[in-house]
């Protein structure tokens, strides 16, 4: 049983004795509530019902209404409040798109604010803008183009923008009926290295624990993860974790202010005086995590802080890891990590003294060329003490989007079928028998490969559900050129985006989608802790001719393959859930979810419970790892891209209320700035062989030799060819810094 949080106030954890943190830099959460009310003032009852009954379409915490399964009380964060207006806003006048020349200069935030996309629209080469068309006309144009080409020249991409399990499942089934495995989703861009690392090491490809394990565990470690910014409701968990005497530690390149302290608005004590979270920060170089963790394990072995009994009985590969670490010098580990041997010792001592620990990571770990091995290095550390498969322990790749966890599990992926089964002839044959049509048995194109194919003239149709390739992938000019090469682009979304306005090679079709709250019959999402949650349809206004994406894809597939019409029809979302339960074993039970609050956690509260690992040999696997050798040229910096006040690529404010940094900020270490004669606000240019970024100096507690800039603005510096084994772009670069 984990320790319970103390009920009394704990001044030793207060961030400041100043009431409400007067003068401190942090978000005004109460103003966010007022702002949300004002923006949705024309639909307040509907807005309230969305918040009070629907499953959050923000991060993958997964509240039902404003409650969850971890703590009592109201759970409502700034991310959800900022997204609320997209669900309540009216439609824009289609006349707006008759000439898009003026709109092409708008930023995506301005395009979103124009309103909802109400009707199917089409633009052809040479036309100034879009004209309204019927659904029948739009779908027939798309179907005829698909019929006129071959499956290998088609691509389909599904973002995680509030996308639900039913949409993911029906979409991938429809695409495979067309004869194509070229379907991918945002889960790859974020956490496919986590899936690969966990699967190879533990046999389980998802978060192994629950959020409850944060509260009362001995040690809670965040590595390359900033939950205060990206999953704000979790700061409530951190507050109560501190009250249960959990030690919180952060390993990162930047001393994130929100991970250091936060004023939690729904807790009186914290709202008044704030809460100090991380007791220790270990600053490492961008890409230095593996070296730091290897040094940590090296100390643990030397000091006999490992659980040798667990290692001997339940794991393999430890001897090989130990031998490799013996040959890695402290000098090299210090150089690569940016941390000292003593700092690695201090962290190793914390891990060694802990009886229970949870490790949380995000895209600061995965979005590197070595993302998969970064994940395995965390797993290696956890396995030294058996920190998996039991209460208060676990490995958590925390998700940033409410719909993303279910994407790959539903098979909306170029490299796996539903249930995470590999794409091969055996699994294809099983699905073919079940679905009643031939399923392709070769892997498809992943998202970056779709853009490469388009650039090379090898793609005839790109169908994008939400998303914006222009703002999520490296080298945006290259991406734009690729989009201009595609004869038919189809964008189905609820609002406008900049990629919709890229000049057509021949034809661009826009299709209006419903939100998750508008889908008849209700839908489900899967959150970070593997909880499958039902979100009901919320009665209220409906926009023009918007349709659920799952219906659109199945109708399109029936038009392309009329001979399969009976195999590509679902009466409603409940029928989709019935089939999901048959096809995806871990989702058995989804068919019983029918009303608000219905949920289940597949795999239970802990995967690998009792140290039963679903690997071929039944054991967890250590992985011998050598840190990547990063040679930094003279007078150059490592630069990482970061999120500010935004949700994915959706920038919401010019200034980040947590850090105080504006979008043009170049975060730099004080000593680095001093050596270059720079002060706050100075104009600088970051350059490399790919492009340049004009910004202004923002002196911050960041590891020396490293810089951070905001994403997607910084994508001009990123190399499209640098990807992890799972195809995740490396969102980091090496740059020169010059004064403007």
CA dihedral of 211, 216, 218, 223, whole degrees rounded to 10: 30
- pLDDT tens, residue by residue, 537-576: 999 999 999 999 999 999 999 999 999 999 999 999 999 9
Residue 1 has a pLDDT of: 86
**Which pLDDT score is estimated for 48?**
98
Which residues are CB-neighbours of 594 under 8 A, at least 6 positions away? Answer: 522, 534, 574
Asked if 370 and 319 touch (Cβ cutoff 8 Å), the reply is no
Neighbours of 579 (CB within 10 A): 19
Q: What is the pTM of this model?
A: 0.97
What is the structure's pLDDT at 280?
95
Report pLDDT digits (tens) over 676-685: 999 999 999 9
Q: How far is CA 527 from CA 193, 376, 412, 711, in A?
A: 18, 22, 16, 24
pLDDT exceeding 70 applies to what percent of the chain? 100
Instruction: Between 348 and 79, name the one with better pLDDT.
Output: 348
Whether pLDDT at 649 is above 90:
no
d(CA 538, CA 526): 19
Q: How far apart are CA 561 and CA 627, in angstroms?
A: 50
Which band of pLDDT confidence, cut at 50, 70 and 90, is reported for residue 301? Answer: very high
Residue 494 has pLDDT above 90, yes or no: yes
Q: Provide the strand spans (E) within 80-152.
A: 121-124, 131-132
Residues 618-622, mean pLDDT to the nearest whole number: 98
Distance between CA atoms of 42 and 585, rounded to whole angstroms?
44
**Is the pLDDT reported for residue 629 higher than 90?**
no
The yes-or-no verdict on residue 631 having pLDDT over 90 is no
pLDDT digits 0-9 by tens, 432-485: 999 999 999 999 999 999 999 999 999 999 999 998 999 999 999 999 999 999
- Mean pLDDT for 50-60 is 94
With contact defined as beta carbons under 8 Å apart, do 259 and 228 qualify?
A: yes
Res. 403: pLDDT tops 90: no
pLDDT digits (tens, 9 = 90+) for 138-174: 999 999 999 999 999 999 999 877 899 999 999 999 9
pLDDT tens sequence across 188-199: 888 999 999 999
pLDDT at position 239 is: 97
pLDDT at residue 411, rounded to an integer: 95
pLDDT at 344: 98
Q: What is the pLDDT of residue 545?
A: 98
Pull the structure tokens for residue 550. Answer: 């799952």
pLDDT of residue 392: 98
Q: What is the mean pLDDT of residues 100-117?
A: 93
What mean pLDDT is reported for the chain?
96
**Residue in the structure block whose two tokens are 């207060």:** 14
d(CA 155, CA 467): 14
pLDDT at 398 over 80: yes
**pLDDT for residue 388:** 98
């Amino acid at each position: 049983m984990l320790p319970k949080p103390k009920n009394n106030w704990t001044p030793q954890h207060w961030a400041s004795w100043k009431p409400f943190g007067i003068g401190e830099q942090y978000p005004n959460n109460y103003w966010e509530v007022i702002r949300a009310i004002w923006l949705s003032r024309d639909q307040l009852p509907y807005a309230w019902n969305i918040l009070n009954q629907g499953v959050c379409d923000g991060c993958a915490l997964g509240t039902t209404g404003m409650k969850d399964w971890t703590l009592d009380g109201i759970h409502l964060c700034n991310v959800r409040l900022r997204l609320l207006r997209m669900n309540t806003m009216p439609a824009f006048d289609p006349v707006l798109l008759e000439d898009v020349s003026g709109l092409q200069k708008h930023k995506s935030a301005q395009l979103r604010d124009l309103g909802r996309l109400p009707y199917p629209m089409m633009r052809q080469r040479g036309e100034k803008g879009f004209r309204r068309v019927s659904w029948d006309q739009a779908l027939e144009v798309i179907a005829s183009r698909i019929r006129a080409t071959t499956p290998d020249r088609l691509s389909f991409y599904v973002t995680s923008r509030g996308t639900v399990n039913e949409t993911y499942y029906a979409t991938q089934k429809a695409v495979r009926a067309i004869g194509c495995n070229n379907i991918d989703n945002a889960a790859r861009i974020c956490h496919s290295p986590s899936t690969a690392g966990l699967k190879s090491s533990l046999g389980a490809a998802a978060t192994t624990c629950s959020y409850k394990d944060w509260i009362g565990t001995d040690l809670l470690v965040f590595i390359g993860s900033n939950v205060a910014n990206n999953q704000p409701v979790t700061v409530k968990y951190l507050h109560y974790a501190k009250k249960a005497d959990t030690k919180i530690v952060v390993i990162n390149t930047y001393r994130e202010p929100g991970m250091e302290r936060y004023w939690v608005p729904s807790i009186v004590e914290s709202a008044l005086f704030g809460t100090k979270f991380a007791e220790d920060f270990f600053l490492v170089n961008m890409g230095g995590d593996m070296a730091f963790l290897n040094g940590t394990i090296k100390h643990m072995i030397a000091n006999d802080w490992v659980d040798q009994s667990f290692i001997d009985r339940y794991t393999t590969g430890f001897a090989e890891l130990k031998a490799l670490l013996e040959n890695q010098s402290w000098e090299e580990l210090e150089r690569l990590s940016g941390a000292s041997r003593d700092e690695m010792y201090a962290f190793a001592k914390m891990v060694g003294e802990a009886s229970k620990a949870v490790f949380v990571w995000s895209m600061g770990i995965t979005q590197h060329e070595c993302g998969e091995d970064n994940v395995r290095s965390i797993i290696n550390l956890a396995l030294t003490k058996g920190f998996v498969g039991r209460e208060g322990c676990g490995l958590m790749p925390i998700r940033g989007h409410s719909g993303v966890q279910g994407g790959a599990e539903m098979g909306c992926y170029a490299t796996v079928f539903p249930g995470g089964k590999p794409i091969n002839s055996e699994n294809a044959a099983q699905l073919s028998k079940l679905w009643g049509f031939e399923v392709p048995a070769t892997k498809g194109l992943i998202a970056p490969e779709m853009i490469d194919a388009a650039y090379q003239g090898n793609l005839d149709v790109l169908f994008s559900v939400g998303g914006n390739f222009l703002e999520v992938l490296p080298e945006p000019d290259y991406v734009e050129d690729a989009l201009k090469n595609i004869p038919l682009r189809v964008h189905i979304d609820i609002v406008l985006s900049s990629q919709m306005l890229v000049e057509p090679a021949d034809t661009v079709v826009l299709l209006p989608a419903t939100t998750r709250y508008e889908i008849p019959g209700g839908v489900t999402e899967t959150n970070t802790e593997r909880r499958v949650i039902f979100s009901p349809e919320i009665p209220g206004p409906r926009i023009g001719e918007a349709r659920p994406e799952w219906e659109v894809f199945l109708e399109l597939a029936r038009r392309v393959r009329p001979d399969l019409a009976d195999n590509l029809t679902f009466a409603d979302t409940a029928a989709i859930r019935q089939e999901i339960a048959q096809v995806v074993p871990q989702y058995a039970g989804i068919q019983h979810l029918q009303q608000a609050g219905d949920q289940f956690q597949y795999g239970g509260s802990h995967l690998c419970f009792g140290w039963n690992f679903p690997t071929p040999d039944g054991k967890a696997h250590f992985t011998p790892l050598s840190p990547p050798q990063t040679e930094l040229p003279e007078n150059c910096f490592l630069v990482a891209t970061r999120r500010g006040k935004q949700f994915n690529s959706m920038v919401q404010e010019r200034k980040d209320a947590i850090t105080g940094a504006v979008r043009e900020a170049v975060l730099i270490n004080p000593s680095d700035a001093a050596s270059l004669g720079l002060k706050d606000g100075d104009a600088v240019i970051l350059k490399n062989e790919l492009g340049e970024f004009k910004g202004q100096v923002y002196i911050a507690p960041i590891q020396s030799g490293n810089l951070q800039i905001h994403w997607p603005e910084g994508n001009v510096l990123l190399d499209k060819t640098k990807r992890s084994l799972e195809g995740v772009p490396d969102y980091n670069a090496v740059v020169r810094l010059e004064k403007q």
